[in-house]
Amino acid sequence: MFGEARLVSMKCPDCGDHLVPHREMPGFWYSPSCGGTYVKDNSGNLFKVEISGKVETFVGDTERERHAENAKRLLDLDQYIRAKSEFDYLIDNFPEDYRGWLGSYMIPFAIYAHTSKWHREFSGLLSSAVRLNREATLNHLERFFKIYGAHIRLKDDKRTSLDLAFNPLKARTLDDFTSWLLFDGLSTFLELEHQPLTALLYQLSSEYYEQMIEGKILPVYYNRLPENLNKDAFISCENITAESNELVFLFSSFGCTIKTRKRYKESKDFDIVVISPFDTKNEITLSSNRVSHSFTLFGKWLYLQGESRFILLPRSLTQSDVWRFGGRCPYCGSNFKGIFTKVCPNPQCGRPKDY
């Protein structure tokens, strides 16, 4: 028969209060009343110890691997907030371990891979992971982009967009992650100078550019391209402020009929009405003829900034179009001179203004 077992509490030899386990130093005990700190030997005898200076708690490789494994399992269970807490613990306690930095950085990427929802990345973490273990970090990124695929991902776009018949378009554009990747996160990945990743990013940027200028998808920005493209080869008019008659010329060059209409009976101001060349029942109304308009030509897209509308034109613009819409010589780009007769002053051109 076993004897009766009972829990015997330890008391402080100095003040008599009950001793409790020390939170910061495993294996030590202290008195809440007097603050005395004690350690117990194998025979159960208490020895008082003096603590001077800052106490540091050291945890070993077992603790490190436990948190790293917990983070991995939580990611597999889609427990992203809890997984980030585990990665942050690794950063705080084992800053020399790249897994904490990389894991915390990749949390938004894991969410996107599983849900297609993108939340901005935690900046500054990737560079630390690369410095600590470049090869493992790049391998991890390659696995993610293998899941992403070799083509841009799209989503429906709710911005106002019309064709030249002025019918609403069900347009698409880059999804949130791809938009971030090609316009905001691009420089971070290019700085890695990792050829497979650099090649993939160029492929994605080129695909976006080609589909955008052909009018197949809406521009993410009406005046920006990904920085890894050759912008000099792109034809655009950016942020042009034009009188209404210049916009009239632009629309009439694509076959639209232009009319004016009083805003109301007593008004001296006229609105400009642009009628579609494909459906005379469809029209758009621009602001008063006394108001200038800012607009951008982007491939086949005309962006009217005042109305925040994209209009799909029947063809992409040439450099000659850009010069013509800017009131310059469409053959060389020079500014015309002359009062009654406008002539190009370029001696190698010298053509009169023909529009």
Q: pLDDT tens across 113-172, in order?
A: 989 999 877 777 899 999 999 999 999 999 999 999 999 999 999 999 999 999 999 999
Candidate from 86-100, 205-219, 243-257, 295-309 with smallest mean pLDDT? 243-257
Identity of the highest mean pLDDT range in 40-54, 216-230, 236-250: 216-230
- Nearest partner of 212 among 222, 201, 197, judged by Cα: 222
One-letter amino acid for residue 219 of the chain: P
- More confident: 321 or 279: 279
d(CA 262, CA 247): 18
Distance CA 96, CA 346 (A): 65
pLDDT at 242: 47
Q: pLDDT tens for residues 169-218? A: 999 999 999 999 999 999 999 999 999 999 999 999 999 999 998 999 99
Radius of gyration for the chain, computed over Cα atoms and rounded to the nearest angstrom? 34
The residue written with tokens 């992409």 in the block is: 316
The yes-or-no verdict on residue 106 having pLDDT over 90 is yes
Other Cβ atoms within 10 Å of 111 Cβ, number: 17
Which distant-in-sequence residues (6+ apart) come within 8 Å of 238 by Cβ? Answer: 223, 296
Model confidence at 56: pLDDT above 70 = no
Most confident among 19-23, 143-147, 253-257, 333-337 (mean pLDDT): 143-147
Top-ranked range on mean pLDDT: pick from 17-31, 242-256, 311-325 = 311-325
Domain boundaries, the chain: 91-213, 232-325
- Which range of 18-27, 45-54, 301-310 scores highest in mean pLDDT? It is 301-310
Cα distances (angstroms) measured from residue 127 to each of 130, 137, 339: 5, 10, 61
Tokens encoding 197: 């990743």
Can you tell me the distance from the alpha carbon of 289 to that of 260, in angstroms, rounded to the nearest whole number? 9
- On average, the pLDDT of the chain sits at 83
Give the tens place of pLDDT for each residue, 245-270.
566 777 888 889 988 877 777 767 77
Gap between the Cα atoms of 55 and 32, Å rounded: 18
CB atoms within 10 A of CB 104: 24
Locus of tokens 């101001």: 269
Q: Is 342 helix (H, G, I), strand (E, B) or coil?
A: coil
For the chain, the distance separating the N- and C-terminal CA atoms, rounded to the nearest angstrom, is: 114
pLDDT for the residue numbered 296: 77
CA–CA gap between residue 296 and residue 236 (Å, rounded) = 7
Q: How far is CA 118 from CA 115, 121, 129, in A?
A: 8, 9, 21
Chain centroid to Cα 231, Å, comes to 20
pLDDT of residue 173: 97
